[in-house]
Amino acid sequence: MKKSINLIAFLSLLFLMSCGGGESEVTIGQTFKVKDLDMAIESVSSHAILSDDTRKESLVASPGHTYLKVRLLTNASNHIMTVFTGEKELEEADFMDVMHFVSEDAGPESNYSESFFLIEEGQKIDRIEVRGFGGSATKYILKDVKYEAVSDRTVNPKMFAFMEEFSAPQRLLSIVKKYISQDVYNVVHEAGSDVPVDPMLRNFRINYVNPTGTSYSCYADGLDLVSVDIDWTGDEISSLNFSL
């Protein structure tokens, strides 16, 4: 009987050893292995605006929010990563929204991967966990995460205020008049028309912010999708061009 108990204990130990599991704390840039592949949490940063100047596209976080970017040394398909604030797991941003803002050296066929999470400005990130597939895989944990705010452009607060005016349907010219000190017809122009109409618009969203934060390409909802380009000089709209 004693030999049987010892054999069971020995086999149990072998099983636990073969399963691996457990946790291991890591630091930024520290290399660890998942399925014999080198991995590392290379950097963690936050971005109020993600931009691709070649494609003329931007993704702007709503006021009071920012995009957390976690960059890993690893192929994107060989791991599971989770980010926590307290015990709450953060939801990763939709890849279709952020795919154009992934670095050129990060992707399915590269040695790096990047993930994005929409968070509140200054939100505490308690830990990032990385592990391979399978419930027995070791978790590699970066605790008390520090991240750097990166900003190469900003959105004029007046632009946010202008957009907020259209949370409900509004006449375009009547709203523009609040943000100019000259005649509205000197500022607003409609493609293909000498005298612009005054469309009812709502739900403005920014498609691109130029590097100086003075020019914005937008879309708004009207009878159809409306393209709107807005230039600012200080706190005033200096030019607005739209196409119905």
For the chain, the structural domain boundaries read: 23-149, 157-243
pLDDT at 107 (0 to 100): 73
pLDDT at 52 (0 to 100): 96
pLDDT at 76 (0 to 100): 61
Q: Which residues does the chain have with pLDDT short of 70?
A: 1-21, 75-77, 135-136
pLDDT at 135 (0 to 100): 64
The CATH code that applies to domain 157-243 is 3.10.450
Contact of 115 with 147, CB cutoff 8 Å: no
pLDDT at 14 (0 to 100): 41
Among 73, 70, 71, which Cα is nearest to 90's?
70
What is the C-alpha separation between 112 and 145, in angstroms, rounded? 20
pLDDT at 16 (0 to 100): 40
pLDDT at 21 (0 to 100): 61
SS3 (DSSP) at 95 = helix
Whole-model pTM: value is: 0.84
Distance of CA 134 to the CA centre of its chain: 28
The CATH code that applies to domain 23-149 is 2.60.40.1240
What is the C-alpha separation between 89 and 84, in angstroms, rounded? 5
